[in-house]
Each structure stands twice: as structure tokens, then as C-alpha cells.
């Protein structure tokens, strides 16, 4: 019996990693880096995670966990509760509906896909925050945040791809 | 081996996607609902936020320490290169400050003498709690810090948060072991200030940008760049005279203030208890306790 149980436990632990890694990125995004000017345009790392797993293993990052990630991001970063939930759900929804398009495509396409999706996310977060505060939020910071997210994307995505090859190959 | 989908599967698959679609819409509706709830019952949302922050605080603390050490190391290395220039500059500054010190000593003794002569009532001296910054976000959507002391350490909502250079914000939420600081740059921050040189009153408003703006100036007020801005103490939330920043630019678009503190470099902050109840607590206070005090908060 023990082998079966261990196998099951092992599988469960591996299956948990997409959510676990995303959670880690949400928490990391609020850790102070002490880099001057960085905090103003710190990228939303969890967005990369949600984009990646929605393409490759949506069954391991179900809708509910996306909701929880968004909620935690809102609660920790101090944005109006619901803002990042909506942004994350939008990204997840878009990617899931276009999943077939990404199958077997090159890394560049995968990157460009993120550029499009995170542009939608940035604009959405700007619109929601402006509506919430009843004032137009400075768009420049959102733009730079978007550009930095694009720059950071290959690094985070590469780690995820390697992780997936190493630990989540069986299905 | 080819299998034909059974009848059950043929019904189940679209049904599943339908359920998922409903769930998706349901969760989106829930998110909108949460946003509305935040508008309607901000106190509840704040409490939940504080509790969650408290729960995550140990993890944040664990992460923030090595990050701080690394950045300190990098900073040390960078400073090593400019150490000679820095030294010369500091010597010059020291000479200038020595002069200031004699002036200050003279003024201080004079001030004490005059205070005694006039019988001035002094402000209560403040109690300080020093806390470590364990999380922060400063950007287009929110500007806040999380520090690692809370109710247990005597931190209360509305207290002023100060760095070595001046005021940086106020406590917006407190839980047992952590507290959230609303930075001056946040779009929800409004602080009554004075222009130090001519004592003109104004309100300093954040806008989720690096610089803050002065609003509600009296007509005909004269403001020039490099004027120092200090807190005015009006409203009773902050004591008067805490340094805030300098006027960076005056234009048709408004008066911009450059704050003294660089938020990205903050590692420790002081939370000051000046014994002021101020406007912040008014909503929480019960009307009965206010009427007993004769409409004033006479806490001495």
C-alpha cells in the first residue's frame, strides 16, 4: 500500500506547485527591495504565473485559486479589494479561451501573447482604480509597470517552464 | 483503439463547460461585489485586511531580512567608491553645522527663557515605537507600508509615522502584530500643512505619484520653489512642525512637493504617539463620551 500512497502524495505535492509558486510571487511582490524607484513600477509577478499556468496546466490552477490569488494580492498591496481579482480572472479567462492558439507555438509567440494580455490587464487595473477613486490615476506609472513586466516575463516564464519539465511531466 | 463517447459523456462535457462558465461569471460578480462592499463598509474590509496581513507578516518578515541585507551590502559597495568625495563634502557640511550649532544653542536658551517668561503651555512629549518595514508597495494603484508592530506594541490607528527625515504617513489599519501605513503619496492621503517661511496654510494631497500636491491654498498665497513644508497640526491628527518636504515646482498644473523621505530606502520607521485623538477617531468615538467632555476632547 505504501508505494501507492507515496505516489499519490508525491503527485499531490507536485500538483500543488503551480498554486504554491503563484502564492509565493504574490507575497514576494510586496517585500521591500530597497531599490530606488523600483517600487513605483514593480511588476505584478503573479500575472506571469497565472498566464503561464492557464496555458500549460489550467487544471492545476483552477478558477477558484485564481480568485484567491487576486484576493490576497488586493489585501496585501492595499488596492481596493476586488481589483486584482477582476484583473487576474480576466487574464485567466482570455488565456483559457485562446489556449488552443498557444499550443506548440514558439517562445516569442508566448511572449507576445503575454504582451497583449498584460496590456489588457494594465488598462483594466487603471480603469478600475480610477473609477474606485473617482479620479484619473497617473497613467505613466502603469505604463512603466507594464513595460517592466514584459522585461521580467522571460526570466519568470523560463523558471516556470523548467519547473514544469522537471516536476509536472507525467500528465 | 478508438472509443466512441458514451451518451453520458456527450451530455456531461457541455454541461461541465456551462457550469464553469457560470462559475467564472459568478466569481467576477463576486469580485465586483467585494469592490462595492469596500466602498460601503470600509471598516469591515480594513479589519479583514489587517487580519490577513497579520497572518502573512511572519513570512514577509522572513523574506524582508535577507533582501535588506543584500541591498545594504550593495549600497556599502557603491558608497565605497565615492568615499573620498563624500568625506570632503561631509567635512564642509560639518563646519557649516558647527556654526549652526552655536546659533541653535543661543536660540534654545533664549527660547527657554522666553517660554518661562510667558508661561507657554507645552505640547505633550511624544512616545515612540520603532518598527521594521516588512512590506511595501508604492505605485500607481496603492502606496502603503506594512510594519511589524501592532496593537500589542501600543500602535493605534491615526498615529503619525516618521522617518529620520520627516513625516511619511499615518497608521491606517492595526492588527495585533502588524500595522499598515498610508503613505503621504497615496491618493487617499490629505494632510494639513504650513509653508514654513510665511505660515500659509494648505492641504497636501497625494495622487499615487512620487510627488504630492498642495491644494486649498488661500487666495493670493505666495509659494516659491524650495519653500519648506511642515505639518500644521490643524485637525489634531498630527502635531505641528514635523518636516514634510520642499516645494519642487509651481505651475498652472498645481504646486508640487518633493518629500524629504525616499520611501524606497526605508527600513525602520518610528510611530509617534503624541496623545492626540484628532479627527481620525471621531467616527469611532461614541457620541455620549463626546457630550460628557463638553464637545471637546479634554485629554491632558
pLDDT of residue B192: 92
Q: Which three cell numbers stand for residue A27?
A: 507575497
Whether chain A has a CB inside 8 Å of the CB on B246: the answer is no
Q: What mean pLDDT is predicted for residues A102-110?
A: 85
Whether chain A has a CB inside 8 Å of the CB on B268: the answer is no
Kind plus residue range of the DSSP H or E element containing B256: strand B254-259
Q: Which three cell numbers stand for residue A9?
A: 502524495
> Quick check: B166 and B258 in contact, CB under 8 A?
no
Sign of CA dihedral A30, A34, A40, A44: negative
Whether chain B has a CB inside 8 Å of the CB on A109: the answer is no
pLDDT of residue A73: 92
Q: How would residue A128 be classed by pLDDT, with cut points 50, 70 and 90?
A: very high
Q: What mean pLDDT is predicted for residues A8-23?
A: 88
- Choose, out of A62, A78, A145, the residue to mutate when testing the contact with B (most B CBs < 10 Å): A78
pLDDT of residue B6: 65
For chain A, report the end-to-end CA distance as a whole number of angstroms.
Answer: 23
Min Cα separation A26/chain B (Å): 11
Q: How far apart are CA B70 and CA B73, in angstroms?
A: 5
pLDDT of residue B294: 40
- Which residues from chain B sit within 8 angstroms of residue A145, using beta carbons? 139-140
pLDDT of residue B299: 40
For chain B, report the end-to-end CA distance as a whole number of angstroms.
Answer: 88
Whether chain B has a CB inside 8 Å of the CB on A128: the answer is yes
pLDDT of residue A97: 87
Tell me which chain B residue has its CA closest to the CA of residue A141.
Answer: B140
Q: How far apart are CA B36 and CA B51, in angstroms?
A: 20
Q: How far apart are CA B71 and CA A34, in angstroms?
A: 6
Q: Which residue in the set B53, B68, B134 is minimally distant from A75, CB to CB?
A: B53
Q: How would residue A7 be classed by pLDDT, with cut points 50, 70 and 90?
A: confident
Q: Which residue in the set B28, B56, B144 is minimally distant from A78, CB to CB?
A: B144
Residue B246's CB is within 10 A of a number of other CB atoms, namely 15
Test A33 with B52 for CB contact under 8 angstroms: no
Whether chain A has a CB inside 8 Å of the CB on B68: the answer is yes
Supply φ then ψ for residue B143, to 5 degrees. -135, 100
Q: Which B residues in the span 121-180 are in contact with A, Cβ-Cβ below 8 Å?
A: 133-146, 180
Residue A127 has pLDDT above 90, yes or no: yes
Supply φ then ψ for residue B125, to 5 degrees. -75, 150
> Which of these, B146, B256, B15, B171, lies nearest to A78 by C-alpha position?
B146
pLDDT of residue B258: 93
Distances (CA, A) of B76 to B48, B80, B88: 39, 6, 18
Whether chain A has a CB inside 8 Å of the CB on B265: the answer is yes
pLDDT of residue A78: 85
Q: How far apart are CA A54 and CA B59, in angstroms?
A: 27
Which domains, from first to last, does chain B contain? 44-118 (no CATH), 127-273 (2.40.10.340)
| Partners of B167 in beta bridges | B162
> Quick check: B137 and B155 in contact, CB under 8 A?
no
Min Cα separation B56/chain A (Å): 8
Sign of CA dihedral B249, B253, B255, B258: negative
- Which ranges in A29-82 belong to alpha helices (H)? 45-56, 63-77
Test B208 with A137 for CB contact under 8 angstroms: yes
Test A33 with B67 for CB contact under 8 angstroms: yes
Min Cα separation A64/chain B (Å): 8
State the DSSP code for A41: G
Q: How far apart are CA B64 and CA A31, in angstroms?
A: 6
pLDDT of residue A1: 58
Whether chain B has a CB inside 8 Å of the CB on A147: the answer is no
Whether chain B has a CB inside 8 Å of the CB on A131: the answer is no
Test B27 with A33 for CB contact under 8 angstroms: no
Test A141 with B140 for CB contact under 8 angstroms: yes
Min Cα separation B231/chain A (Å): 25
State the DSSP code for A58: G
Q: Which residue in the set B24, B142, B264 is minimally distant from A63, CB to CB?
A: B24
Q: How would residue A12 be classed by pLDDT, with cut points 50, 70 and 90?
A: confident
| Partners of B247 in beta bridges | B257
For A33-69, what is each residue's pLDDT tens digit? Answer: 777 777 777 888 899 999 999 998 888 888 999 999 9
> Which of these, A137, A95, A31, A133, lies nearest to B61 by C-alpha position?
A31
Q: Which A residues in the span 42-81 are in contact with B, Cβ-Cβ below 8 Å?
A: 42, 63-64, 67, 70-72, 75-81
Q: Which three cell numbers stand for residue A163?
A: 519547473
Tens-binned pLDDT, residue by residue, of chain B (300 aa): 445 556 666 777 777 778 888 888 999 999 999 999 988 888 888 888 888 888 888 888 888 888 888 888 888 888 888 888 999 999 999 999 999 999 999 999 999 999 888 888 776 677 889 999 988 888 778 888 899 999 999 898 888 999 988 899 999 989 888 999 999 999 889 999 999 888 899 999 998 888 899 998 888 888 889 899 999 888 777 888 889 999 999 988 889 999 998 888 888 999 988 776 655 544 444 444 444 444 444 343
Q: Which residue has the cell 524629504?
A: B260
Q: How would residue A118 be classed by pLDDT, with cut points 50, 70 and 90?
A: very high
Beta carbons within 8 Å of A46's beta carbon, 6+ residues apart? A22, A25, A26, A29, A69, A73, A88
For A133-149, what is each residue's pLDDT tens digit? Answer: 888 888 888 888 899 99
Amino acid at each position: 500500500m505504501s508505494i501507492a500512497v507515496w505516489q499519490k502524495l508525491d503527485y499531490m505535492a507536485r500538483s500543488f506547485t503551480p498554486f504554491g509558486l503563484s502564492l509565493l510571487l504574490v507575497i514576494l511582490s510586496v517585500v521591500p527591495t530597497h531599490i530606488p524607484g523600483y517600487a513605483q513600477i514593480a511588476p505584478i509577478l503573479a500575472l506571469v504565473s497565472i498566464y503561464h499556468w492557464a496555458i500549460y496546466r489550467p487544471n492545476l490552477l483552477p478558477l477558484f485559486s485564481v480568485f484567491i490569488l487576486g484576493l490576497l494580492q488586493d489585501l496585501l498591496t492595499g488596492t481596493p479589494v476586488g481589483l486584482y481579482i477582476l484583473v487576474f480572472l480576466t487574464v485567466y479567462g482570455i488565456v483559457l479561451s485562446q489556449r488552443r492558439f498557444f499550443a506548440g507555438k514558439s517562445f516569442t509567440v508566448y511572449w507576445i501573447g503575454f504582451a497583449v494580455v498584460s496590456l489588457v490587464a494594465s488598462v483594466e487595473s487603471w480603469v478600475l482604480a480610477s473609477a474606485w477613486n473617482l479620479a484619473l490615476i497617473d497613467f505613466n506609472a502603469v505604463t512603466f509597470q507594464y513595460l517592466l513586466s514584459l522585461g521580467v516575463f522571460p526570466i519568470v516564464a523560463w523558471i516556470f517552464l523548467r519547473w514544469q519539465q522537471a516536476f509536472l511531466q507525467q500528465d | 483503439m478508438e472509443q466512441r463517447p458514451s451518451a453520458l459523456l456527450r451530455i456531461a462535457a457541455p454541461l461541465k463547460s456551462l457550469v464553469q462558465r457560470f462559475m467564472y461569471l459568478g466569481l467576477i460578480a463576486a469580485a465586483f461585489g467585494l469592490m462595492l462592499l469596500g466602498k460601503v463598509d470600509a471598516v469591515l474590509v480594513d479589519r479583514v485586511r489587517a487580519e490577513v496581513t497579520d497572518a502573512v507578516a511572519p513570512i514577509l518578515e522572513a523574506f524582508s531580512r535577507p533582501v535588506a541585507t543584500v541591498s545594504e551590502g550593495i549600497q556599502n559597495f557603491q558608497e565605497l567608491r565615492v568615499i573620498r568625495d563624500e568625506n570632503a563634502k561631509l567635512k564642509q557640511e560639518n563646519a557649516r553645522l558647527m556654526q549652526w550649532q552655536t546659533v541653535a544653542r543661543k536660540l534654545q536658551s533664549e527660547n527657554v527663557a522666553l517660554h518661562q517668561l510667558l508661561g507657554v503651555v507645552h505640547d505633550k512629549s511624544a512616545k515612540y515605537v520603532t518598527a521594521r518595514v516588512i512590506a511595501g508597495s508604492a505605485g500607481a494603484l496603492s502606496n502603503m507600508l506594512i510594519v511589524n508592530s501592532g496593537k500589542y506594541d501600543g500602535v493605534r490607528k491615526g498615529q503619525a509615522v516618521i522617518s529620520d527625515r520627516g513625516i511619511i504617513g499615518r497608521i491606517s489599519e492595526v492588527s495585533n502584530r502588524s500595522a499598515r501605513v498610508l503613505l503621504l503619496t497615496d491618493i487617499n492621503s490629505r494632510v494639513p500643512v504650513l509653508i514654513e517661511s510665511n505660515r500659509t496654510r494648505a492641504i497636501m494631497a497625494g495622487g499615487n505619484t512620487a510627488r504630492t500636491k498642495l491644494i486649498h491654498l488661500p487666495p493670493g498665497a505666495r509659494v516659491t520653489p524650495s519653500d519648506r513644508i511642515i505639518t500644521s497640526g490643524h485637525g489634531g491628527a498630527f502635531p505641528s512642525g514635523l518636516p514634510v518636504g520642499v516645494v519642487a515646482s509651481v505651475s498652472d498644473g498645481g504646486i508640487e512637493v518633493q518629500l524629504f523621505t525616499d520611501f524606497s530606502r526605508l527600513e525602520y520607521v518610528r510611530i509617534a504617539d503624541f496623545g492626540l485623538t484628532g479627527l481620525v477617531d471621531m467616527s469611532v468615538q461614541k457620541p455620549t463620551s463626546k457630550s460628557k467632555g463638553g464637545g471637546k476632547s479634554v485629554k491632558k
